[in-house]
Amino acid sequence: MTSSTSRQCSFYDFYRIRFFADNCCLGALYTKCASLLKRRFKTILTMEPQKRIAIVGAGPSGLVAAKEALENGLIPTVFESKSDIGGVWSTSGSVWDTMHTNISKFTTTFGDFRWPDDTEMFPSAYDMLYYLNEYTTEWKLRAYIKFNANVVSVASNGEDPNNIALKGWAIQWIENGAPLQTDLFDGVIVAAGIFSKGDIPELPGLSAFGGKVIHSRDYKSGQSFKGLKVLTVGGSFSGAEIASDVSNHSAVSHHCFRRPFWILNRYLPDKKSGKSSLPLDLLFYTRSFYEMTTTVTEEESNISKNKYMSSICKQQQDIAELTIEEEDFHKPYNVTVSDQYLEQVEQKTLIPHKSEISEINNSTIRFANDDTIEVDAIILCTGFNTDLSFLAPNVLQKIMYEPTDRLQPVILFNECCHPDVKNLFFVGLYKGPYFAVMEQQARLAARVLSGRVDLPNLELLTEGLKYEKAIRDANPRPQFPHPEYVLFADKIATCANSFPDLKKFKESSYSLSDAFGVALKENALHLEQQKSEIYERFMSEPVTPSHYNLVEDPIGTLSQMDVVQEVIQKL
């Protein structure tokens, strides 16, 4: 209900009470009610109008941004260039028929909206789209989305040399082929994703290749390559999984890559607890795991992590083309997730090539190590470039936009905002976005835009920008800008005031309310007696997105943590 409607209803109530009082001689009632309503009018008439924000994209990051905006009293308008929600998970997105998530449903979820209990542990692409549609329905988001609305310009509506967009943002878009439209907004959240344009490498002879060539964005099924000799190029997650998927149908599946990578199954043995197998994210994503692997230098950290990977990837270390030598353990490690890859390599239906392509001559592929193969088709799993061309040039300059930098295309504090660009936020616009991180970025953006929280001071923001720039400049470059998923999500949640003070949480001299920074609700007061136990669980159990609701909904969060523990016990 808008404020104007509330005001009309209030005036109606005022005169209705006055009429009733006058006719019934209830002067005292009239006086009391009139006084209350006058105070209500004063509040309504002095209220600031709700801020309007534009959100670019209706994939997972855009949807959670819209939901957080509504929860914080903002009015969102979501611009989606396609005809439906889902982003990369939509029917026209960059997913294939047999694709499943590589982390479990407990991590691939938003903190306040659980999967149905009967959902398989690693949801399919179809399941993901179903979940996002249910999320959209639950929070009534569809009414705020403009479909087939292509944003062509996001520019400031007034600025000074030190701060862009002092007077809001002007958005221009084309909707369903209609003439260009323009509107003004108080803030903008860019949630357009990083999978904008497939990166096509300049491989010598590729243009003259006589067979089939596609980018991974267009791959849908291995059936299309039945009986063919296929080369998949690229050592990314999609590279390994598509090479594996093709292997189930092709005459032979070749896979070439430059950097070696650890190949993990979706289920891994838990040596610590003795469990035979756990979803890999429930094994790795604990705060205690990150504490264990935190060492003095980056090189020592790499060695520690690579030794651990070697201990759980012994089958891989017995395959010459996939072996990662101990002398390379000081380098940043790459990982991929594929359940069939190693078995297919052993069966020789999938052949790995740890080498670059030096030449393509008709159907012959020559590698840098002088090996040659004959192929009928090439699948390029060579990544994506981010397209932010709709942002004004002065904004792109501030955020140091590099469209061809697939690791770090923009430089932002916590991959989310820039101190010199007022009321512009980014959600999910980094390589390897997790649902928890997207949700916390959206929460931070909404709470800052609504005035509920402030960004950190300029010194911390500047330090954060330098940290992100160092990631871009790293040599060798890491696989992901923020592989420390849990710590990264914790850091953003701290800025959004949705994360407890861990020092106060741990020490017995502080209460839960002290640690949370808010008073516990009446139905949660009994948790004060369990503070030590809750802290231990918070630090040692798998970190799921619901953890970041602990401050405002401790009972709901603990309930979700119980569900995860029940699943682990069953496994």
pLDDT for position 295:
55
Which of 383, 415, 443 is a domain's end point?
Answer: 383
How many domains, in total, are found in the chain? 4
For residues 228 and 112, state if they share a domain.
Answer: no
Q: What are 23's two structure tokens?
A: 């006719």
pLDDT for position 269:
86
pLDDT tens digits in sequence order for the chain, 571 residues long:
333 333 334 333 433 444 344 444 445 444 445 554 554 444 444 456 799 999 999 999 999 999 999 999 999 999 999 999 999 999 888 899 999 999 999 999 999 999 999 999 999 999 999 999 999 999 999 999 999 999 999 999 876 655 665 679 999 999 999 999 999 999 999 999 998 889 999 999 999 998 999 999 999 999 999 999 999 999 989 999 999 999 999 999 999 999 999 999 999 988 766 667 899 999 999 998 777 655 568 889 899 999 999 999 999 999 999 999 999 999 998 999 999 999 999 999 999 999 999 999 999 999 999 999 999 999 999 999 999 999 999 999 999 999 999 999 999 999 999 999 999 999 999 999 999 999 999 999 999 999 999 999 999 999 999 999 999 999 999 999 999 999 999 999 999 999 999 999 999 999 999 999 989 989 899 999 999 999 999 999 999 999 999 999 999 999 999 999 999 888 7
For residues 227 and 375, state if they share a domain.
Answer: yes
For residues 432 and 487, state if they share a domain.
Answer: yes
Decide if 239 contacts 350 (C-beta within 8 A).
no
Provide the strand spans (E) within 285-375. 335-337, 350-354, 357-361, 364-367, 372-374
**How many whole angstroms separate alpha carbon 436 and alpha carbon 490?**
9
For residues 16 and 73, state if they share a domain.
Answer: no
In this structure, which amino acid lies at residue 189?
Answer: I
User: Mapped to the 3 state alphabet, what secondary structure does 288-314 carry?
Assistant: HHHHHCCCCCHHHHHHHHHHHHHHHCH
Coil, helix or strand for 410? coil
Which of 383, 402, 430 is a domain's end point?
Answer: 383
Return all residues near 128 (Cβ < 8 A) that are at least 6 apart. Answer: 86, 89, 95, 101, 108
**How many whole angstroms separate alpha carbon 351 and alpha carbon 247?**
9
Using N-to-C axis directions, what is the helix angle for 531-540 and 554-570, rounded to 10°? 50
Facing residues of 153 across strands?
172
Decide if 57 contacts 150 (C-beta within 8 A).
no
The CATH number of residue 125's host domain is 3.50.50.60
Owning domain of residue 315: 198-383
For residues 555 and 506, state if they share a domain.
Answer: yes
Q: Which of 337, 361, 155 is CA-nearest to residue 239?
A: 337
For residues 218 and 316, state if they share a domain.
Answer: yes
Provide φ and ψ at 268, rounded to 5°: -130, 150
For residues 268 and 390, state if they share a domain.
Answer: no
Return all residues near 330 (Cβ < 8 A) that are at least 6 apart. Answer: 299, 302, 303
Which of 495, 529, 557 is a domain's end point?
Answer: 495
> Rounded to the nearest 10 degrees, how much is the dihedral formed by the CA atoms of 543, 549, 555, 559?
-40
Burial class (CB in 10 A: 0-12, 13-18, 19+), 348: exposed
Q: Which of 430, 437, 512 is CA-nearest to residue 478?
A: 430
Decide if 193 contacts 57 (C-beta within 8 A).
yes
For residues 206 and 352, state if they share a domain.
Answer: yes
Q: Which of 481, 484, 487 is CA-nearest to residue 408?
A: 481
**How many whole angstroms separate alpha carbon 349 and alpha carbon 44?**
70
Element (H, E) at 444: helix 435-449
**How many whole angstroms separate alpha carbon 276 and alpha carbon 39?**
65
Radius of gyration of the chain (CA): 27
Q: Which of 91, 354, 360 is CA-nearest to residue 220?
A: 91
Using N-to-C axis directions, what is the helix angle for 435-449 and 485-495, rounded to 10°? 10
Q: Which of 539, 538, 536, 542 is CA-nearest to residue 550?
A: 538
Q: Which of 137, 138, 383, 75 is CA-nearest to residue 239?
A: 383
For residues 183 and 203, state if they share a domain.
Answer: no
CB atoms within 10 A of CB 466: 10
Decide if 547 contacts 487 (C-beta within 8 A).
no
Strand ranges across the sheet with 364-367 = 357-361, 364-367, 372-374
For residues 389 and 353, state if they share a domain.
Answer: no
Sign of CA dihedral 126, 490, 481, 543: negative
Q: What are 466's two structure tokens?
A: 């330098």
- Distance set, CA 129 to CA 5, 86, 324 (Å): 36, 6, 37
Q: Which of 140, 48, 151, 52 is CA-nearest to residue 446?
A: 52
Q: Which residue has the tokens 């050592």?
A: 235
Could you please report the per-residue DSSP string of 148-186?
Answer: TEEEEEEEESS-BTTBB-TT-EEEEEEETTPPPEEEEES
Q: Which of 398, 435, 421 is CA-nearest to residue 191?
A: 435
For residues 406 and 518, state if they share a domain.
Answer: no
**How many whole angstroms separate alpha carbon 480 and alpha carbon 335?**
10
In this structure, which amino acid lies at residue 194?
Answer: I
First to last CA, the chain: 47
Decide if 210 contacts 362 (C-beta within 8 A).
yes
Q: Which of 192, 230, 228, 229 is CA-nearest to residue 214?
A: 230
Residue 434 has, within 13 A of its CA and on its CB side, a CA count of 28
Coil, helix or strand for 231? strand
pLDDT for position 289:
78
> Rounded to the nearest 10 degrees, how much is the dihedral formed by the CA atoms of 99, 80, 417, 287?
-30
Q: Which of 144, 99, 147 is CA-nearest to residue 123?
A: 99
Q: Which of 290, 292, 296, 334 is CA-nearest to residue 486?
A: 290
For residues 337 and 204, state if they share a domain.
Answer: yes
pLDDT for position 16:
41
pLDDT for position 15:
37
